Chain A
Amino acid sequence: QQQVKQSPQSLIVQKGGISIINCAYENTAFDYFPWYQQFPGKGPALLIAIRPDVSEKKEGRFTISFNKSAKQFSLHIMDSQPGDSATYFCAASKGRTSGSRLTFGEGTQLTVNP
């Protein structure tokens, strides 16, 4: 049973456009929701993270929107750039009390065309 579902599997956006990736989770015990960015040949790197006590977090062009009642969260990339082309993973964990093991979505391959 997959606890974090991510969509779409792949996404093509034009430069300057908005990229939106969605995730839904099952386990209400999750209390930490990071997004990781992975470039080819590299490991995933933390991009931005949110806790369920806020509905939105913004860092530069990257924004997480969080809907606790719907158990959904999404990543918005504004003014998408070719350098943003990468695989994006949403994840969830139970945080401090449970060793912080991450449960990942399947990943979204983002391509930003120039």
Chain B
Amino acid sequence: EAGVTQFPSHSVIEKGQTVTLRCDPISGHDNLYWYRRVMGKEIKFLLHFVKESKQDESGMPNNRFLAERTGGTYSTLKVQPAELEDSGVYFCASSQGLAKETQYFGPGTRLLVL
């Protein structure tokens, strides 16, 4: 069974540019989460999808971040325009259902904004 995949693995962009991160969860997992780790700090929750609906987006830092989950399958996280403080590792995780808490993480996308 394939795990959670993320693309790209690395991205280096200039301040003001746009970047789109993609996450493919484990097949059949209704729950999809985005997290971010900045500069060796804690991994912070960004948002949670249940199928195609946003269940909780309270962790999104501001309106420069837009997440979508098309048809309840893969998800994208767009940052527009990117700022220096957006640099970090963006993780996606998925889980099978609310009754099963185990979240399976992807390898992350390392974003560097210059």
List residues of A whose CB falls within 8 A of some B CB: 2, 4, 6, 32, 34, 36, 41-46, 49, 89, 93, 95-96, 99-107
Binds A, one of B14-22, B66-74, B95-103: B95-103
* Contact in complex: B91, A99 (CB < 8 Å): no
Name the B residues within 8 Å of A96 (CB-CB). Answer: 98-99, 101
Number of inter-chain CB pairs below 8 Å: 66
Instruction: Give which listed residue, B42, B48, B56, contacts A104 with CB less than 8 A.
Output: B42
Judged by a CB distance under 8 angstroms, whether B106 is at the interface is yes
Name the A residues within 8 Å of B41 (CB-CB). Answer: 106
Instruction: Give which listed residue, A36, A41, A45, A100, contacts B95 with CB less than 8 A.
Output: A100
Name the B residues within 8 Å of A106 (CB-CB). Answer: 40-42
Nearest neighbor of A36 in chain B, beta-carbon distance:
B105
